[in-house]
Every structure is written in C-alpha cells, then in structure tokens.
C-alpha cells in the first residue's frame, strides 16, 4: 500500500487517507438521495437509479484512485442529471433510454479527447469567462429546479412563474433544511448537506406529510430496470441536428466541469507544478471519461469529479487511497435503499439549492471591466434557467461572445475552438 499509493512521497499516512475518504464521502453522500429523485422525473425506476448511482460512484472513484492515484471522488453530476431529466427527456421528448445512449457516446468521445492532444486544445482555447459562466449558469438552472421541487416557485400562465404556497409544510421544511445546511457547513461539520436532507425527511414523516421507510437496510433493489437499457439505435436514428446537440452539450459540460474541478482541487491540494499544470491530468480525465460511459451502462446520467472532494483534501487526503475509501463506502451504501427511496422531493430540494449557490460563486472570477467578456457570460447564465436548457444557454453564450468580439474589432481574441463551437450551435439553432 505504501509503495502503490506513494504515501511517504505525498507526506501522508494510511490513517489520514482513510479519514479523508470518510470526510469526502459524508460531504457528497447526498447524491445517493438526490440523483434518484431527479432521474425519476424522467420516468426511471427510483430503486434501480439508486443502485446505479452507488455503483457508478464506486466504480468511477475506484478507477480514479487506482489508475490516477488522486484523492478525488466521482458520482453522477449535479446539473448534468438535471439536463438529462428536465431538458433532454421532459423538454425535448426523448426517451430516457436514448438519453442514456447519449451519455454513453459522450463518455466515449471524452475518452478519445482525453488520450489525444485535442483535449488540451479544446480546454485551453475556451475563454475563461465562458468556462466560469457555464458553471454559474448550471448553478442558476439547478436553483430554479430546487425552488420548484420545494414548492417555493410554481408555474403561472400570466407571469410564467410565481411564488407557491409559502406556508405549506413542504415549503417550510425545505426552507428550514436549506438554512440548516448553510449553518452546518459554516461550522465545517462533515456531511452538512446529507444531515439536512435526512432531518427534513424525518420531520416530514413525523408531521405525516410523507410516509416512513419500511426499514433501514435491505437487499439492494434490482438494477434490471436500467441496466444496459441505453438505446443506441434510437439515438442514431434521431435527426442529426438533435443527436449532435444532445451529445455535444453533454460533452462540453462534462469536459469543462471535469477540467475545472480537477485543476481547482489540485491547486487546493498543492499538486500543481511550477507552470500551474497538473501532473497526471491525462490519467484523471481518462478515469473520468471511463466513469461516464460505465454509469450510462448501469443506468445513470453522467458520472463526473466532485468538488466536494476538497473536504477530504482539507482533511489531509493526498493519494488514491482516499478515493478508494470513498468507493468502498459508496458500495456499502447500496443496502440503504429503503431510506434513499423514501426521501421526498422537498427534502432533496434544499440540497439542490445549496449546490446551486456554491456553483454561482464562479461569477466572481469573470472580468467585470471588459464588456466583451462579461456580457456574453451574463447571457449564458441567464439563458440556462430561462430557456430551461443548459445546452441552449451554452449556445447563446458562444454566439454572443463571437458576435460581440467581431463587432468590437477584437477578432484575434476568438480561438479556433470557439469558432467551431459557435458554428455548430448556429447550425442547430437555424435548423430547429
């Protein structure tokens, strides 16, 4: 173990790595409750998605730990699961089986990018303002979903959206849960989000507005309803514009989300070299891209690196042993299906809103003195929740960025990758 994970070289110990793994798991375990709730909105079996979530997180994190030797955990990504359920399935009318096929293909393409120099060209060519805007925009998109799930925001024929019944028990419990999560996180209590979700669910059961689970542990639900259900034939028989749009949107968000998360965590852990590069980034991205396709086969949306891994890094985690610990804990979680499947939407809503707030912080990195940078970024951020589509928001942002730079006489600032992405989105927008 010492030689494999290079513990002494990384100035850490087995005990430190195990405790770091536990810390990371507690901060991100909320996904085993939230992901089934979101994907069930797409018509997927909640029990099967719960098992797929645990297995995808365990396998992806294990690959990251053993192959890349990094203290970074993976699980189905927030934002990507919302895009999967609410945009691709409910919005575009595609089946969840086709959506899984799109995730699978996206993972394969990401894997190819990860082993070729194209990866660095793509990541380094996208403007920093658009990378940050995509992250913040997904946060705003998640925020709208969280408010809707809590009943705080409802549909209205005259104003599109309006406030819900704010004195109802689900709204009050969700609001209390959100504030509790903030307080617990502020006090640096591991598992703040998961604690909030569970306490809100228990309160709802005590009041009587949601049923109690039939037990705490049980044999895992069957994975059969989602396992190998991806419909590749259906995906390739879609109109080419639609197929390209869906796959490209998954790929774009996955690539930048992963790259940004990995670089940010590595910087926090002091793993970057003197040039600011992350040694072993290729292995980490290969691990990530492999996990995306594996998750699709199991029956869940895109599996990606989690920023919550920073909690374990703060606790001293520096090697893949931290990730292996997280993987084992996710694997053990499959026996808690009675609890996970009994968690109501109003209990997971504050967790979604909490993550949304964290993602919105990326707005601080945008250059607010340069209108050619911050205006396209704002368009990206606003478009995602108001069109209820992450991909459309990305497209509007890139078209705006290119157009504004051209009209302002700053064509030389537009990279070849941005020209390509803009052209693809323009073709799609014209053809729909």
pLDDT, one tens digit per residue, over 52-73 is 999 999 999 999 999 989 899 9
Of 20-29, 70-79, 276-285, 382-391, the one with minimum mean pLDDT is 276-285
Q: Residue 260 has what pLDDT?
A: 64
- Report CA-CA distances (Å) from 379 to 245, 305, 358, 374, 407: 19, 26, 20, 9, 17
Pull the structure tokens for residue 264: 């940010």
Chain-centre distance of CA 277, in angstroms? 23
Q: Residue 278 has what pLDDT?
A: 65
Closest CA to 338 of 144, 201, 133, 237: 201
Residue count (the chain): 432
Can you tell me the distance from the alpha carbon of 125 to that of 118, in angstroms, rounded to the nearest whole number? 10
Q: What is the mean pLDDT of the chain?
A: 87
For helices 192-207 and 31-40, angle between their N-to-C axes, nearest 10 degrees? 60
Of 72-81, 188-197, 260-269, the one with minimum mean pLDDT is 260-269
Q: Residue 284 has what pLDDT?
A: 83
| pLDDT higher than 90, residue 115 | no
* DSSP-derived secondary structure letter, 86: I
| pLDDT higher than 90, residue 94 | yes
Q: Residue 271 has what pLDDT?
A: 67
Domain ranges of the chain: 2-216+226-431
User: pLDDT band for position 268 (50/70/90)?
Assistant: low
Phi and psi dihedrals of 43, rounded to 5?
95, 10
Is 297 within 8 Å of 104 (Cβ atoms)?
Answer: yes
Of 191-195, 231-235, 275-279, 371-375, the one with minimum mean pLDDT is 275-279
Q: Residue 160 has what pLDDT?
A: 87
Is 325 within 8 Å of 20 (Cβ atoms)?
Answer: yes
- Non-local (6+) Cβ contacts of 294 within 8 A are 56, 59, 60, 107, 303
User: pLDDT band for position 213 (50/70/90)?
Assistant: confident
Can you tell me the distance from the alpha carbon of 81 to that of 62, in angstroms, rounded to the nearest whole number? 21
| pLDDT higher than 80, residue 256 | no
Q: Residue 174 has what pLDDT?
A: 94
* DSSP-derived secondary structure letter, 74: E
Which residue carries 């228990």 as its tokens? 202
Reported as a single tens digit per residue, the pLDDT across 303-338 is 988 877 877 887 788 889 999 999 999 999 998 888
| pLDDT higher than 70, residue 119 | no
Phi and psi dihedrals of 153, rounded to 5?
-120, 130
Pull the structure tokens for residue 147: 């408010």
Q: Residue 108 has what pLDDT?
A: 94
- Non-local (6+) Cβ contacts of 226 within 8 A are 44, 45, 48, 49, 52, 100, 298, 299, 300
| pLDDT higher than 90, residue 101 | yes
Average confidence (pLDDT) over 196-207:
92
- Non-local (6+) Cβ contacts of 182 within 8 A are 354
Average confidence (pLDDT) over 277-292:
80
Q: How many CB atoms lie within 10 A of CB 231?
A: 18
Is 58 within 8 Å of 331 (Cβ atoms)?
Answer: yes
pTM of the model: 0.78
User: pLDDT band for position 96 (50/70/90)?
Assistant: very high
Is 359 within 8 Å of 144 (Cβ atoms)?
Answer: no
| pLDDT higher than 90, residue 33 | no
């Amino acid at each position: 173990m010492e030689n494999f994970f290079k513990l002494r070289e990384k100035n850490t110990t087995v005990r430190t790595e195990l405790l770091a793994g536990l810390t990371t798991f507690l901060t991100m375990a909320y996904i085993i409750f939230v992901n089934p709730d979101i994907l069930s909105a797409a018509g997927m079996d909640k029990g099967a998605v719960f098992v797929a979530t645990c297995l995808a997180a365990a396998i992806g994190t294990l690959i990251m730990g053993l192959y890349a030797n990094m203290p970074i955990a993976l699980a189905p990504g927030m934002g990507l699961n919302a895009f999967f359920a609410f945009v691709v399935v409910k919005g575009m009318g595609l089946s969840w089986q086709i959506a899984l096929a799109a995730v699978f293909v996206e993972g394969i393409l990401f894997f190819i990018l990860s082993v070729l120099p194209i990866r660095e060209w793509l990541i380094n060519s996208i403007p920093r303002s658009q990378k940050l805007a995509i992250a913040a925009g997904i946060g705003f998109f998640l925020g709208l979903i969280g408010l809707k799930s809590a009943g705080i925001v409802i549909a209205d024929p005259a104003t599109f959206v309006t406030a819900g019944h704010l004195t109802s028990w689900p709204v009050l419990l969700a609001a209390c849960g959100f504030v509790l999560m903030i307080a617990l996180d502020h006090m640096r209590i591991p598992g703040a989000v998961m604690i909030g979700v569970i306490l809100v669910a228990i309160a709802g059961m005590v009041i009587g507005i949601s049923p109690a689970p039939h037990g705490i542990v049980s044999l895992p639900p069957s994975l059969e309803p989602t396992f190998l259900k991806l419909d590749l034939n259906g995906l390739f028989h879609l109109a080419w514009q639609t197929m390209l749009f869906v796959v490209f949107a998954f790929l774009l968000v996955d690539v930048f989300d992963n790259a940004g998360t990995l670089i940010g965590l590595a910087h926090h852990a002091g793993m970057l070299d003197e040039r600011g590069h992350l040694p072993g980034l290729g292995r980490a991205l290969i691990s990530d891209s492999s996990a995306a396709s594996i998750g699709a086969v199991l029956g869940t949306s895109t599996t990606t690196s989690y920023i919550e891994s920073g909690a374990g890094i703060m606790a001293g985690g520096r090697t893949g042993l931290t990730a292996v610990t997280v993987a084992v804990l996710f694997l053990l979680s499959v026996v808690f299906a009675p609890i996970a499947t009994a968690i109501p939407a109003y209990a997971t809503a504050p967790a979604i809103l909490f993550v949304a707030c964290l993602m919105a912080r990326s707005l601080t990195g945008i250059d607010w003195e340069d209108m050619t940078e911050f205006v396209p970024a704002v368009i990206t951020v606003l478009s995602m929740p108001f069109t209820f589509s992450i991909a459309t928001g990305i497209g509007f942002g890139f078209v705006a960025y290119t157009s504004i730079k051209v009209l302002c006489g700053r064509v030389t600032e537009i990279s070849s990758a941005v020209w390509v992405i803009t052209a693809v989105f323009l073709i799609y927008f014209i053809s729909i």
